[in-house]
Amino acid sequence: MKQGFIRTAAATPKIIVADPKHNAGQVIEMMKQAWGEHAKIIVFPELCLTGYTCGDLFLQNSLLQEARHQLSVILQATRELDIIAFVGLPWQEGGKLYNVAAAVHRGKLLGLVPKTNIPNYSEFYEARHFVSGSRKPVWVSWEGGKVPFGSGLLFVCTTMPGLTLAAEICEDVWVPCPPSIDHACAGATVIANCSASDETVGKDVYRNSLITGQSARLICGYIYANAGEGESTQDLVFGGHNIIAENGTSLAVSKRFTSGVIYGDMDLERLAAERRRLTTFPAASEGCREDYVSVEFALEAEELRLNRFIDPSPFVPRDTGERDKRCEDILSIQAMGLKKRLEHTGSTRAVLGISGGLDSTLALLVTARTFDMLGISRDHICAVTMPCFGTTDRTYRNACTLTGKLGAELREVNIKDSVLAHFRDIGQDPSNHDVTYENGQARERTQVLMDIANQINGMVVGTGDMSELALGWATYNGDHMSMYGVNASVPKTLVRHLVRYYADTCGEKELQAVLYDVLDTPVSPELLPPENGVIAQKTEDLVGPYELHDFFMYYILRFGYSPSRIFRMALHGFGKEYERETILKWLKVFYRRFFSQQFKRSCLPDGPRVGSVSVSPRGDLRMPSDASSRLWLKEAEELS
């Protein structure tokens, strides 16, 4: 439960129709099992204490009284369990019968949530026995006391900020305006659904889409527990299809036609961050809660050993098909952005530096696609290679070969003499390989590109990626500057997959071969002399692994997570790939560089946004250049 993670459960007991004593025993055993697995929330099916398929037996007082008695048995048997459960049963009140979900915790009945939408069609004739409950809660008698009864109940955990539960029952989520919409607007972050949905061909696909879609629309966790084995098969078969979803993602889905418990570790901080970020999500104001009653309960906080999958590459889909689709979409977005800018300026020429590295390769591929869209010959693309002190034969050869295979114009401008002349002008010793030595080369390259663009009435296409911008790994007014940055919102881990996707789908063996060699080349700005003809300056040796930095960047910018939380997630996501000390070292480096280098991002050129994270100062990252990193670094230091 610490840092917003909480284990949830959806259970399908193997019931006996019209035998509440047996069914209560099943519920108690499953609650104990879930508690033993450190679950804090468990949801059971609709009317599970009696069975959903009792038919006219629901009109028998003996069955109703026994169900009520067995609810009391459940409360007594689970007094020591630190878990909140939602259990379905029939409830007689005021001369009418209601289909309710009873919220129970540590031997106490917290409240009763009646079903709002009562079906009366085809195979479901609930209106023959049950009536709809009202939203505004009333107080009803229970064992010498009073409990709230109504669909407008919010169960608020006082010991875990961000955990507010509400419930709806089966049909409620299938209607055009489910009660869960109002629940979420009133502040509920997790919805429990006690359900009895029968199985027909294809219904499971729709059901899964419905539940995950509802969790996405409401930015909530959703626990759906369905009736299963043991229900009467007189007309219907129930498959026990249980689903635990979070903001559009299925955390756990049970196999159908089985009984048992499934678990899903929800991330409440993620839900809170999403609701905070999206200004269109309504505030949980008093107006939203007008017909609601809040019922408080407490859960003991504990360190949860996560069973949740944390993707170490959040920018890169794991599924090959989905990854290929994303690559195609991103290449199209990049090309369409550049196409519009060229059309708007009336330019038919593009200029970019080609180094034989990943970023400039991607930029050239995007530019070639753009010119194909515009119907302009690719020889209007001017790719400039600018060898200097750190250039290796391998990258030079790849730059030249790639440009030729794509049909672009290749220009070579050796900048050694220009840089040495500049060093003489400013009194820089060429043997001193300091930051001036490196940045002097980077700025000379940008000056060459800009001036060639003036010569041919072209536009300089930027090559730098988002990971470099987040770290400030760019020379101010050097590779930092362009007239349109096509890679500006593409993280380094995704650049590699975009180039590989292009190589795999281009259909040209020679072009494919050079792209594969670019992919195998170490990432480097090549600003220091090579050692024995091999790249000496490897970026990831200096600033750290890009896969770690992209992981940090995603969760810092997308969700605003704290250093301690990101560190914990990185330890879980990367497993044994990195030592604890290594992850922490580069996390500190990321925070230091991210804050200190904001001034570079404050004046970035235009570039297309391709995903949910971007560092553009015009919309996605409104950050002061002089902000202090002390708060974040202090927390990171305390993790040591």
Measured distance CA(431)–CA(422) in Å, rounded: 14
Region for 501 from its dihedrals, namely left if φ exceeds 0, alpha if ψ lies in -120 to 50, beta otherwise? alpha
Find, among 435, 448, 444, 437, the residue nearest to 478 by Cα. Answer: 444
Helices 358-374 and 320-345, packing angle to 10 deg: 60
What are the structure tokens assigned to 34, written together? 């879930």
Options 54, 157, 170, 194, the catalytic residue: 170
Cβ–Cβ < 8 Å for 351, 367: no
Measured distance CA(546)–CA(468) in Å, rounded: 9
The residue written with tokens 């990193």 in the block is: 629
Run of H or E including 54: none
What are the structure tokens assigned to 496, written together? 């590699």
Per DSSP bridges, beta strands 293-297 and 153-157 are parallel
**β-bridge partners, 114:** 100
What are the structure tokens assigned to 538, written together? 């490897």
Quickly list H helices, 42-145: 61-77
Secondary structure (H, E, C), 294-313: EEEECCCCCCCCCCCCCCCC
Find, among 448, 451, 440, the residue nearest to 476 by Cα. Answer: 440
What are the structure tokens assigned to 85, written together? 């459960």
Confirm whether 115 is a catalytic residue: yes
Per DSSP bridges, beta strands 5-12 and 260-267 are antiparallel
Confirm whether 170 is a catalytic residue: yes
Measured distance CA(50)–CA(17) in Å, rounded: 6
Options 40, 54, 66, 115, the catalytic residue: 115
Measured distance CA(88)–CA(162) in Å, rounded: 25
User: Quick one: how far is CA 564 from the chain centroid?
Assistant: 18
Measured distance CA(246)–CA(637) in Å, rounded: 32
What are the structure tokens assigned to 329, written together? 């979409």
Cβ within 8 Å of residue 321, ≥6 positions away: none
* Active site residues per annotation: 46, 115, 170
